[in-house]
Amino acid sequence: MSGYPEVLSIREDFPILKRKIEGHPLVYLDNAATTQKPRQVIDTVRRFYEFHNANIHRGKHTLSEEASELYEDVKKKTASFINAKSWREIVFTRNATEAINLVAYSYGTEFLKEGDEILLTMMEHHANIVPWQMLQEKKGVKLRFINIDSNSLLRMEEFEEKLSERTKLVSVAHVSNVLGTVNPVREIAKMAHRVGALILVDAAQSAPHLPLNVREIDADFMVFSSHKMLEPTGIGVLYGKEEILEKMPPFLRGGDMIKRVKPYKSYFKEVPWKFEAGTPDICGTIGFGAAIDYLKKTGMEKIEAWDRHLVGMAYKLLSEIPALKIIGPEDRVGALSFLLGDLETERIALFLNSYGISIREGCHCAQPLHRSLGLWGTARASFYIYNTEEEVLKLRDALLELAKIEGISE
């Protein structure tokens, strides 16, 4: 693979990869949950606290003005990263979950009514199910789900069948955090808009791996989390078309999102600030800007190509292990979920950890998907820009060793 030497160079930017676990070099394959952080991001966070630490939007002194400029500059970087029309379409939240809740409460409670329908898919993360259940309970909105076929792809014919004039919102994962399936969100957006519905794209698993273009997708909303993109935890992004955000009332209310406060009435700032109440994670946001710089310098096309190479290699090698079953399609991004015989997934994860290999096990916050597949959970290996072919081989070899120990041969 031509990009491989560059990956070895990239690994030098990640201090944690020099750790040993149980006496073995760390093989970190839990990237769908959170990614590791490069020195460039760590140094940016440290420099902020050493030289620029102050609250934003509140002071005329040098530190506050510097912090405010650094913070707001990240909105411009984020808008460019996803090709938004304007930085005013970028709202910072704590995570993708909060971003979806913002839409559910601010848009959903204001504009949806009893009998309206929200169309979801069976492969959604809980974060893209539970907030809409709130609207079902409080507003009488009806939730409808699109199932997956035997190849772990969405049944697109069901979209045609279930979309109607009652559909007001379609909310769909761009990439499944369990299956790695890449959903055709541009096609889904066209279908939604044909019946007058809006579309929210959950890009938590695609933003780290794929070049994104919200205008090409024609998403009305998009959400993702920075900690899956080399950045510390605590920053989420809500993209919304400016004309839609302007109509929505604030989600949280208090300091910084107001223009003027009287004893019995308040006047709010324009977008995006009316959705950003209180002191935000200033340093984390500035660190996110450094992470975006790192990803753009590396190149999202290169990142996608390397990811697909590694996950394709893992799919091929793990498919050759007797009694190992991979869940999901061969054509995938990021994550590879599997079972080994009838072993509990916890047993798999603990055994791999004894070899220094970090994976995830359980339902991955996707219980409806697992239940629809007749499963209680899966083991999941997920890859990113610092993973290597040797690490895929180590994963394969450790699983072969586990199968041998457990006497699993078919």
In terms of domains, do 304 and 355 share one? Answer: yes
Asked if the structure places residue 357 within a domain, the reply is yes
pLDDT attached to residue 37: 98
Range with lowest mean pLDDT among 52-56, 204-208, 265-269: 265-269
Task: Name the least confident of 41-55, 108-122, 257-271.
Answer: 257-271
Question: Which residues form the domain of 392?
Answer: 4-30+299-405
In a domain, 370, yes or no: yes
Give Cβ neighbours of residue 263 (< 8 Å, ≥ 6 apart).
none
Per the domain annotation, does 121 fall within a domain?
yes
pLDDT at residue 4 is higher than 80? no
Q: 223 and 370 share a domain? A: no
Q: Are 125 and 184 in the same domain?
A: yes
How far is 322 from 340, CA to CA, in rounded Å?
A: 8
Residue type, 391: E
Reply yes or no on whether the pLDDT at 65 is more than 90: yes
Q: Are residues 327 and 377 in the same domain?
A: yes
Number of residues that make up the chain: 410
Q: Based on the domain organization, do 177 and 268 belong to the same domain?
A: yes
Same-domain status, 177 and 117: yes
340 plus 246 within the same structural domain: no
| Residues 118, 250 within the same domain | yes
**Structural domain count of the chain:** 2
Q: Is residue 111 part of a domain?
A: yes
Task: Return phi, psi of residue 383, to 5°.
Answer: -120, 155
209 plus 224 within the same structural domain: yes
Of 365, 367, 372, 389, which one is the catalytic site residue? 365
CB within 8 Å of 28: residues ≥ 6 apart: 16, 17, 36, 358, 386, 387
Alpha carbon distance, N-terminus to C-terminus of the chain:
32
Domain at 54, CATH number? 3.40.640.10
Select from 192, 191, 227, 229 the least CA-distant residue to 210.
229
Pick from 270, 297, 324: which residue ends a domain? Answer: 297
Q: Which tens digit of pLDDT belongs to each residue from 198-243?
A: 999 999 999 999 999 999 999 999 999 999 999 989 999 999 999 9
Q: Work out the average pLDDT over 342-350.
A: 97
The verdict on 179 and 125 lying in the same domain is: yes
Residue 93 inside a domain? The answer is yes
Q: What percent of the chain has pLDDT over 90?
A: 92
Is residue 283 annotated as a catalytic residue, yes or no? no
What pLDDT, on the 0 to 100 scale, is given for residue 2? 46
Domain end: 297, 324, 339, which one?
A: 297
Q: Considering only CA atoms, which of 272, 250, 241, 248 is closest in space to residue 107?
A: 248
Mean pLDDT of the region 375-392 = 97
Is residue 37 in a domain? Answer: no
Q: For position 106, what pLDDT does the model report?
A: 97
Alpha-carbon Rg of the chain, whole angstroms? 22
As a whole number, mean pLDDT of residues 6-11 equals 94
Question: 3-class DSSP state for residue 32?
Answer: coil
| 43-52, 211-220, 273-282, 369-378, range with the lowest pLDDT | 273-282
Q: Kindly tell me if the per-residue pLDDT of 344 is higher than 50.
A: yes
Per the domain annotation, does 221 fall within a domain? Answer: yes
> Residue 361 pairs with which residues in a beta bridge?
379
323: pLDDT strictly greater than 90: yes
Same domain, 160 and 268: yes
Q: Is residue 36 part of a domain?
A: no
CATH of the domain at 319: 3.90.1150.10
Q: What average pLDDT does the chain have?
A: 95
Question: Where is the domain boundary, 259, 281, 297?
Answer: 297
DSSP H helices in 83-223: 96-102, 109-111, 130-139, 156-162, 185-194, 214-217
Do both 84 and 94 map to the same domain?
A: yes
